[in-house]
Amino acid sequence: MAFHDDPRGRRTTIGETEWLTLGQAARFLGVAQSTIRKWSDQGRVPAFYTPGGHRRYRRSDLEAFLDRSGPGGKAKPGPLILLVDDDDRVRELVRSNLEFEGYTVQEAGSAEEGLTAIDDAKPDLILLDVMMPQIDGWEMLRRVQERHGVGAIPVIMFSGKLDERSHSQAEARGAQGFIGKPFDLQQLIDQTKQIVPT
């Protein structure tokens, strides 16, 4: 496949097809370059490679992707998920996968940030890590229920300490689900879809 890169590195049109670089495609979709790279590797967004090994994306493929799932694109925004975890990598992984499924994801790196985010916009579901500094997930869950009522905002808890007690504790405290970390991403997506379908 022949590509023409102009000296300024801008996208070029060959025939009727407009090709975008990785950076341009990421901006077009409104996601990080690492996210679109991952989606390409998973076959979710078709990528083509130049003889030098650089990825190129067809504008028409990106538009079709937005019409299908649209993280921040033309498609109507999906249900709002608040993801509360102090680990940046976990948040990036979960956010990119949920956005692909059509959800709108807001991230918070601490319980304090999460509680502020809820005041700004009430989410349809909270994904909440148990083990966090200062205020842990259990305390945040209690405060959310105190302000909004038990079950008013569904919550799925997740933690590296996975045992039968954690499951029953989550249930007893009014959470809708509990998943161990490192969690099965598909299990998290499936539970999310059960509680808040897109």
Tokens linked to 133: 């500094």
pTM above 0.75, yes or no: no
pLDDT in tens, 84-121: 999 998 899 899 889 888 899 999 999 999 999 998 88
Phi-psi region at 124: left, alpha or beta (left = phi > 0; alpha = psi -120 to 50): alpha
Task: Give me the mean pLDDT over the 143-167 stretch.
Answer: 84
pLDDT in tens, 38-92: 888 877 788 888 888 889 999 988 888 877 664 444 445 789 999 999 999 889 9
126-137 burial: b if 16+ Cβ within 10 Å, else e: bbbbbebeeeeb
What domains can be seen in the chain, in order of their start residue? 12-68 (1.10.1660.10), 80-195 (3.40.50.2300)
Please give the pLDDT value at position 118.
Answer: 93
Its sign, for the CA torsion 9, 61, 42, 197, is positive
